[in-house]
Structure 1
Amino acid sequence: MASTETRTFVVLYTYAAGVGEKRAELLDAHRAYLGALTEEGSLLAAGAFLDSNGGLLLLRAPSLLVLEDLLDRDPFHLGAVIVDREIHPWAARLGTALPSLGASVASSV
């Protein structure tokens, strides 16, 4: 039987230089895609950095391979808006957001 346990990951996006217009064109599709990930329970939080150089996503996935597949389907990735992404497994241990993140985040490694 396959495990249904999920892990939590922090993903840092870095936007390519000079893609502001392309980013604006793809923003609605990017937000719709992230909205779908939210509805299915994969995306916990996301947002752009205020300096417009990238963004941060907090996601749940059963494995790194599944997570990479999700990220590869992001319209920002497909449209070459993202020049780099860092993926870090993450475990929430302290903070006021723990109750809203759920127990599985606090116990994931």
Structure 2
Amino acid sequence: MKRIIAVIREERFELVKTALLTAGCEGMNVSTVKGRGRQIGIKESYRGSSYCIDLIPKTRVELIVKEEDLDEIIDIIIDSARTGEVGDGKIFVSDVEEVIRIRTGERGNKAV
């Protein structure tokens, strides 16, 4: 099993969620985060004063998927989150040793 963490633009989340649900990927955890990479920040001006917002609001989507579904899910996230502009986000993939469903005690792929 693999864990996918995708940090994406807030405005692209609904597209990503819809695409994942259409592909049968129903379980996900979603949170609002702030961060920055190469986007550096947004320069704003308010009443003559300039300031820089250097931590940009993003949406973090976390999924646990079967290894055989990994490439398909990554492609779905990329296709639905990409705008082609700096700040589209990142996808991180890591191994998951075990998954246990608390309600039933099921383990492994059955618990995903």
TM-score bucket (shorter structure): 0.5 to 0.7
Aligned to 2:83: 79
Q: Where does 1:34-49 land on structure 2 (aligned, <5 Å)?
A: 34-38=20-24, 43=25, 45-49=27-31
Q: Where does 1:2-81 land on structure 2 (aligned, <5 Å)?
A: 8-15=1-8, 19=9, 23-24=10-11, 26-38=12-24, 43=25, 45-51=27-33, 53=58, 54-62=60-68, 67-74=70-77, 75-76=80-81, 78-79=82-83
Higher helix share: 1
Higher strand share: 2
Asked which structure has the greater CA Rg, the reply is: 2
CA RMSD of aligned residues (A): 3.2
Contact in 2 for aligned 1:91/1:105 (Cα 8 Å) = no
Alpha-carbon separation, structure 1, partners of 2:99 and 2:71:
24
Unaligned 5+ residue runs, structure 1?
A: 1-7
Alpha-carbon separation, structure 1, partners of 2:31 and 2:61:
5
Identity of aligned residues (%): 5
- Deviation above 4 Å: which 4+ runs of structure 1? none
Amino acid at match of 2:61: G
- TM-score normalised according to structure 1 size: 0.53
Alpha-carbon separation, structure 1, partners of 2:14 and 2:102:
31
The aligned length equals 83
